[in-house]
Chain A
Amino acid sequence: MKSLLIYLRNYKKETVLAPLFKLLEASFELLVPLVMAAVIDNGISNGDKPYVIRMCLIMVALGVIGLVCSITAQYFSAKAATGFATELRKSLFAHIQNFSYAKMDTIGTSTLITRMTSDVNQVQSGVNLVLRLFLRSPFIVVGAMVMAFTVDVKGALVFVVTIPLLSVVVFGIMLITMPLYKKVQSNLDRVLLITRENLMGARVIRAFNKERDEVRHFEKSNQELTDAQKYVGKLSGLMNPLTYIIVNGALIVLIYVGALRVDTGILTQGEVVALINYMSQILVELVKLANLIITVTKAIACGNRIQRVFDEKAGIPEGTADGKFLDGEDTGKKDAEEAFVEFDHVSMRYEGAGADSLNAVSFRVKKGQTVGIIGGTGSGKSSVVNLIPRFYDVSAGQVRIGGKDVKDYKIKSLRGRIGVVAQKAVLFKGTIAENLRWGNETASDAELWEAVETAQAKEFVEGREEGLSFKVSQDGKNLSGGQRQRLTIARALVRRPEILILDDSASALDFATDAKLRAAIRQMKGSPTVFIVSQRASSIMYADMILVLEDGELAGLGTHEELLRDCGIYQEIYYSQFPKEAQEREKGAQ
Chain B
Amino acid sequence: MGKHGKDRQTETLKKVFRRLGRYRIFLLFTVLLSIVTVALTLYIPKLTGKAVDCIVTEGQVDFGGVMEILVQIGICILVTAFAQWLMNICNNKMTYQIVRDIRNDAFKKIEILPLKYIDGHPYGEVVSRVIADVDQFADGLLMGFTQLFAGIATIAGTFCFMLSVNVKITLVVVLITPVSFLVAGFIAKRTYAMFKLQSETRGEQTGLIEEMIGNQKIVQAFGQTENVMEKFDEVNARLQSCSLKAVFFSSITNPATRFVNSLVYTGVGVTGAIGVINGSLSVGQLTSFLSYANQYTKPFNEISGVVTELQNAIACAKRIFDLIEEEPQVPEPETAVKLTDVKGNISLSDVSFSYVPERKLIEHFNLEVKPGQRVAIVGPTGCGKTTLINLLMRFYDVTDGSIRVEDIDIRELTRKSLRAGYGMVLQETWLKTGTIRDNIIMGKPDATQEQITAAAKASHAHSFIKRLPKGYDTWITEDGGNLSQGQKQLLCITRLMLVKPPMLILDEATSSIDTRTEIRIQKAFARLMEGRTSFIVAHRLSTIREADVILVMKDGKIIEQGSHEELIRQGGFYQNLYQSQFAGA
Contacts and interface: CB of A to CB of B under 8 A. Distances in A.
Interface stretch (B10-18, B155-163, B239-247): B239-247
Given A118-B132, A377-B464, A391-B217, A234 B92 contact: yes
Interface in A353-393: 353-354, 374-379, 382, 389, 391
Given A78-B251, A108-B478, A511-B580, A420 B221 contact: yes
A473 B100 CA distance: 32
23 contacts: A39-B273, A44-B273, A60-B266, A71-B255, A108-B477, A113-B127, A117-B131, A195-B107, A206-B393, A240-B85, A255-B55, A259-B63, A391-B220, A411-B223, A423-B485, A426-B215, A429-B122, A480-B381, A482-B382, A483-B382, A508-B381, A514-B584, A573-B515
A52 B70 contact: no
A133 B10 CA distance: 32
Contacts of A201: 430, 432
A378 B484 contact: yes
Interface stretch (A139-147, A265-273, A394-402): A265-273
A241 B84 contact: yes
Contacts of A192: 127, 130-131
A63 interface: yes
A118 B135 contact: yes
Contact of B416 (A209, A508, A577): A209
A483 B381 CA distance: 7
Nearest to B514: A376
B221 A422 contact: yes
A215 B74 CA distance: 50
Interface string B52-95: 10111111010100100010011001101110110011011100
B103 A222 contact: yes
Interface in A216-235: 218-219, 222-223, 225-226, 229-230, 233-234
Interface in B110-138: 110-112, 115, 118-120, 122-124, 126-128, 130-132, 135-136
A346 to B, nearest CB: 19
B562 interface: no
Overall SS of chain A's interface: helix
Contacts of A259: 51, 54-55, 61, 63, 66
A249 interface: yes
B132 A438 contact: no
Interface string B215-239: 1111111111101110011001101
A62 interface: yes
A525 interface: no
Contacts of B516: 376, 572-573, 576
B526 interface: no
A199 B118 contact: yes
A377 B518 CA distance: 10
B433 interface: yes
A60 B263 contact: yes
Contacts of B205: 89, 117
A59 B511 contact: no
Interface in B509-528: 511-519
Interface residues of B, number: 172
Contacts of B236: 86, 89-90, 93
A377 B512 contact: yes
Contacts of B581: 510-512
A480 B382 contact: yes
A385 B81 CA distance: 67
Interface string B448-486: 000000000000000010001100000001110110111
Interface string B303-345: 0000000000000000000000000000000000000000000
A511 B584 contact: yes
Given A269-B55, A420-B221, A240 B88 contact: yes
A162 interface: no
Given A75-B248, A219-B104, A375-B514, A121 B381 contact: no
Interface stretch (A98-106, A325-333, A336-344, A444-452): A98-106
B584 A512 contact: yes
A210 B442 contact: yes
Overall SS of chain B's interface: helix
A474 interface: yes
A299 B517 CA distance: 53
A576 B251 CA distance: 72
A90 B255 contact: no
Given A420-B221, A542-B585, 10 more contacts: A93-B212, A192-B130, A206-B115, A207-B422, A211-B111, A229-B92, A241-B84, A242-B81, A475-B211, A572-B516
A377 B212 CA distance: 28
A323 interface: no
A196 B263 contact: no
B20 interface: no
Interface in B365-403: 378-386, 393, 395
A423 B111 CA distance: 29
A193 B373 CA distance: 40
A352 B477 CA distance: 12
A74 B283 contact: no
Contacts of A513: 380-381
Given A71-B255, A255-B51, A504-B512, A237 B222 contact: no
Nearest to A495: B222
Given A39-B269, A114-B131, A192-B127, A378 B262 contact: no
B283 A438 contact: no
A214 B240 CA distance: 37
B179 to A, nearest CB: 13
A5 interface: no
Contact of B52 (A90, A276, A514): A276
The 9 closest A-B pairs by CB, nearest first: A482-B381, A237-B88, A377-B486, A233-B92, A70-B255, A265-B58, A515-B584, A63-B262, A241-B81
A13 interface: no
Contact of B244 (A52, A78, A242): A78
Contact of A90 (B73, B127, B233, B243): B233
Interface in A26-65: 32, 36, 39-40, 43-44, 47, 49, 52-53, 55-56, 59-60, 62-64
B566 interface: no
A44 B277 contact: yes
Nearest to A473: B120
Nearest to B53: A269
Nearest to A477: B119
Contacts of A44: 273, 276-277, 283
Chain B CB count within 10 A is highest, among A43, A55, A82, A205, for A82
Contact of B269 (A56, A90, A93, A495): A56
A59 B381 contact: no
Contact of B256 (A67, A93, A225): A67
B127 A262 contact: no
Given A233-B96, A259-B55, A241 B85 contact: yes
A2 interface: no
